[in-house]
Structure 1
């Protein structure tokens, strides 16, 4: 019976350690597939050999036409993202991890291995950057109007005048909260400059991506922080908003360094960043 054709799914690039083979052997990836290490020869005696963390997935479910359909299925996307992240998290405590984007695929292990060898220098540079660092997310929100007490109107004021006074007070309160947001952003930047090595500024979140009870998201950044600076960084960021009642600061992490996994986009005409699609 002819085996079903498969593709090679790649989760991450790692530097293998003595225990990593056993760790990987205990993981299951997308669609419950067993996870394995694909190791390239080291290009020099002084350089560690990189490895892809991979699994084999059915070609019928993962080739380009199938993925187009799957990407419209939110339940499939959520399950796949969780499985992808589960593998990354399982590696984080044991080695430096360079996460790759979900659905990074090669036609077979030989092509994946060729890409690993070809792009060793890029992978090695990025792994060196990420070693002994973790990612923290920092979001700042302008609190909603409902969180600000309504001003007391003068007893003798007419209903119309009281309404105008209230609207004016709300307008001033909103302006004050945005002033506080600028102040918080300046403080966060100054704090990060002391403790974080790199920053990625993500677009602010709107609609269903934003917690409705937090207010308007006005800052959405990711910081790469040395592990020995993590506690100090978190405390300093939290302190940045303590005297700004119109602002809510949210710190998340530590995370796998997804925001810092790949180099910035290359100018037009240069080679594509690492990773492949069917």
Structure 2
């Protein structure tokens, strides 16, 4: 495959050449621009790429597109689809950052050569592992609920005399104490769950709790974490999560498990920052943040 001056190569992931899917495996797979996906192989490694129009994927176009939430979500889902398809073959995959593009195959091979030691070490470290994401939400029950209006059998009671300033402050302090105590119990329960899951994982990553629109209607996000787990330990890990989830309502929290995914949260650090990607735009995955496009050095 040779990219022309009107095309660039969009790169999805790096894997071992020996474990990379062949042409038959990729025949029906399409990428962010509906393009066919193939592998550029060099020095025992392979990068999954697809030809995309330069007009839509050069640096200026990408900077504009990444400000478009609809475009970002669509691209992130397509990016994810390619990585999921390769991961499903059992290959160890290092996802690349969303919107990583190169001028041509020469640029891709240069990246593989320049980062060969880092990428090889990351593949060795992560081989046989997958990532599970965990979010813990706290409902924030009675301590946040407004006081109910007192009633009698004949209907609402008559309004009571206004509280004195001292009584008002006392009630405010009591409500605040109740809320803080409830939050303390929720946080303590989340720490216990994280400790139990950490014991079953090779590595863990903690992300800042999500707030606002990213948190959704699920209540306060108490924990936002990723766990690197060996494939053969997946059933043990998910069984532990199921047991913890059964106990979670007693602590006023709810567990949300996602995965298994390619090891996004762990590939970037192992590969010196090259193998990272956006999952914030893809629902159900831990947010890592997308930032600006990471373009290949050969792209003008």
TM-score if structure 1 supplies the norm length? 0.81
The corresponding residue for 1:45 is none
Task: Show CA shifts across 1:162-211 (max 9, x none).
Answer: 99898666544422321222322331232133210111111111111112
* Structure with greater contact order relative to length (CA < 8 Å, sep ≥ 6): 2
Contact map agreement 1:37 1:51 (CA 8 A) in 2: yes
Cα distance in 1 for residues equivalent to 2:182 and 2:270: 33
Residue aligning to 1:252: 258
**Number of residue pairs aligned between Structure 1 and Structure 2:** 263
* Contact 2:139-2:219 at 8 Å conserved across structures: yes
Aligned to 1:20: 22
Taking the aligned partners of 2:68 and 2:145, their CA distance within structure 1 comes to 43
Q: Which of 132, 137, 153 is the equivalent residue of 2:133? A: 137
- What's the counterpart of residue 81 of structure 1? 76
Contact 1:151 / 1:166 at 8 angstroms: preserved in 2?
no
Q: Using the TM superposition, give the Cα deviation of residue 31 of structure 1 relative to its aligned residue in structure 2, in angstroms.
A: 0.8
Q: How far apart are residue 256 of structure 1 and its match?
A: 2.2
**Distance between the aligned counterparts of 1:235 and 1:174, measured in 2?**
32
Residues 29 and 159 of structure 1, relative CA distance in 2, 3 Å threshold = farther
Q: In structure 2, what is the equivalent of residue 11 of structure 1?
A: 12
- Flag the 1:167–1:247 CA change in 2: closer, same or farther, 3 A: farther
1:92 CA displacement: 1.0
Worse overlay, 87-96 or 167-176? 167-176
Distance 1:170 1:234, change over 3 A: farther
Q: Deviations for 1:231-272, whole angstroms, at most 9, x for unmatched residues?
A: 222232344461543222222211222212211696xxxxx7
Q: Does 1:210 align with 2:215?
A: yes
- 1:5 and 1:211 map into 2 onto residues whose CA distance is 41
Contact 2:143–2:175, Cα closer than 8 Å, also in 1: no
Distance in 1 of aligned mates of 2:100 and 2:21: 25
Q: Which residue of 2 aligns with 1:269?
A: none
Instruction: Answer yes or no: is the 8 Å Cα contact 2:204–2:225 preserved in 1.
Output: yes
- Gaps in structure 2 of 5+ consecutive residues: 276-293
CA distance in 2, matches of 1:122, 1:4: 30
Q: Over aligned residue pairs, what C-alpha RMSD do you find?
A: 3.1
Q: Which whole-Å CA distance do the structure 1 matches of 2:98 and 2:59 have between them?
A: 14
